[in-house]
Amino acid sequence: MSAKAHPDSKCRAMKTTFYSKIILFGEYSMIFDATALMIPFRNFCAQWQFGDADNKTHCASSNSLLRFCHYLADNESLSQTIDCKAFETDLNRNLFLDSNIPSSYGLGSSGALVAAVYARYATQPIDDMMALKRLFGMMESYFHGSSSGIDPLQCYLAQPFTISSESGIKLLDEHFLHQSIHVGLIDTTIKSKTAPLVAYFKQQRQDPVFLQHFQEDYLPHVGGCITNIVDAENDAFFAALKLLSEGQMRFLRPMITDNTLPLFEARPDFHFGVKISGSGGGGFLLCFTDDKAAASGLLQDYQVIWI
């Protein structure tokens, strides 16, 4: 089932709301501690609710959360940080996470859950954002086998930021994107599974030739996209995006769905480029342009949500 967002589906402002996220750049380069750029996506969100014991959907959600609670309780480090007893007590009172964030779409459905659990049940707040990221990574590993923790961190902070091993986390203004650059989410109509794609990539990087070329011929374009989009250097940004898109076809082809490959191969006469979002393999594809009308013509066969 494809994911759609309409104006009336945006979450109302509430006391505790955890928004979905978008990794604009850096989904696989993060494994190399290279720079990544994250933004909140407020079309989807999650909120705690107490439900009806007779509601099968609420019960299923609570049972799923109960298994996650037991995972946290069985981990000595996590159980010291999260009040698992209080969590389980609330779950037995039919607590559930009311979320409209599509799962397997690269928008942070599990990240929002982790952020929500931490926000409600942390025994001691963690002020250091890198330390919080590491904690979130341990928590979210339950869902994906391994996690950088960056998705839950974005869902928790709900503010754009860049992150790298050298400069740490740098918060950006909510409206840092220049108004001339339009960002769209293209629905591949295919659900993506993160774990096997990440496992595939980790296997590939064991090849020293692949590793060398990825570091020399791919990572610099990720950094170029981030630097130029933040600095509003549009021509340089779209030049870097073109090289990044070509690099994804070269190094990350299994993460590109066949039904969106024509967009990677397109050579329009205006600024336009696409890239995978999240782990790829489905979910949403990201597109960037400075001519929304022309891009809409190119995208007429796809469902697009403009950010």
pLDDT in tens, 245-298: 999 999 999 999 999 999 999 999 999 999 998 888 888 999 999 999 999 999
Q: Who wins on pLDDT, 202 or 182?
A: 182
Given a contact cutoff of 8 angstroms between Cβ atoms, the answer to whether 305 and 188 are in contact is no
Q: Which residues contact 195 (CB under 8 A, 6 or more apart)?
A: 144, 145
Given a contact cutoff of 8 angstroms between Cβ atoms, the answer to whether 307 and 41 are in contact is yes
Mean pLDDT of 89-105: 91
pLDDT over 90 at 178, yes or no: no
Strands 18-25 and 272-276 come out as unpaired
Given a contact cutoff of 8 angstroms between Cβ atoms, the answer to whether 7 and 44 are in contact is no
How confident is the model over 210-252, as pLDDT tens digits? 999 999 999 999 999 999 999 999 999 999 999 999 999 999 9
Q: What is the mean pLDDT of the chain?
A: 90
Residue-level pLDDT at 14: 37
Given a contact cutoff of 8 angstroms between Cβ atoms, the answer to whether 22 and 41 are in contact is yes
pLDDT over 90 at 37, yes or no: yes
Task: Please report, rounded to a whole number, the percentage of residues in the chain having pLDDT higher than 90.
Answer: 72
Edge-to-edge strand ranges of the sheet holding 303-306: 272-276, 284-289, 182-187, 303-306
pLDDT over 50 at 199, yes or no: yes
Residue-level pLDDT at 54: 72
Distance CA 19, CA 74 (A): 28
Predicted TM-score (pTM) of this structure: 0.86
How confident is the model over 98-116, as pLDDT tens digits? 999 998 888 999 999 999 9
Residue-level pLDDT at 106: 85
Q: Who wins on pLDDT, 93 or 278?
A: 93
Mean pLDDT of 111-139: 95
pLDDT over 70 at 6, yes or no: no
Helix (H) or strand (E) holding 43: strand 36-50
All domains of the chain, ordered by start, with CATH? 7-171 (3.30.230.10), 182-306 (3.30.70.890)
Tokens for 273? 């480029």
Residue-level pLDDT at 56: 67
Distance CA 293, CA 299 (A): 10
CA-to-CA separations, 225 to 34, 41, 60, 135, 262, in angstroms, rounded: 12, 19, 42, 29, 22
Mean pLDDT of 77-97: 95
Tokens for 102? 């599509």
pLDDT over 60 at 8, yes or no: no
